[in-house]
Structure 1
Amino acid sequence: MTDWDEIRKYRYTKGAPPPEWPEGVRAISLEGVTLLGVNPKTNKLYWDGQELATEKRLANFERRMALAVTIATVVMAGIEIGRAAGLITH
């Protein structure tokens, strides 16, 4: 039988994290990895029973690029339709 209280005692490594990590972030020990879980129905990730927040969002630059590509595609489609209809001769 798994002793979850014992696993929780050693969830983090004892060593200091790398200096470039944000303040307060700690490395997970090998024992602590046992606290990670996945709900197979939703594929959501959990840490010690609490859902981890994940975002699927584009950054501002990526949104601007997607908008530019969409506009360019619509303009090119309009030009090709005009050529096919004989409205544009070049």
Structure 2
Amino acid sequence: MTIEIPKEARQEAIASIERYFQENMEERIGNIAAGALLNYFLEEIGPVIYNQAVTEVQERLRVRVDELDVEVHEDEFQYWRRQGGPGKKR
């Protein structure tokens, strides 16, 4: 699966990479090189982050599914209890 990011996010990421190089490295990086570096990160490291996120979502869903019976449980055979208890005539 190829990890893609929206065009606006990609532009911001490239600008961020350029700024990082400008402020933290001895050399500047151009727009094309920053885009290539971003592609490398998305292809090489992106799946690690993606897989971790999927694992975390699966765990959260498991917890929610385990709690589902408590959240939506309905007691059975409640009609007569709500009517005043068994054996009570109206």
* TM-score for both structures, normalised by structure 1: 0.33
Larger strand proportion, structure 1 or 2? 1
Q: Which structure carries more helix by proportion?
A: 2
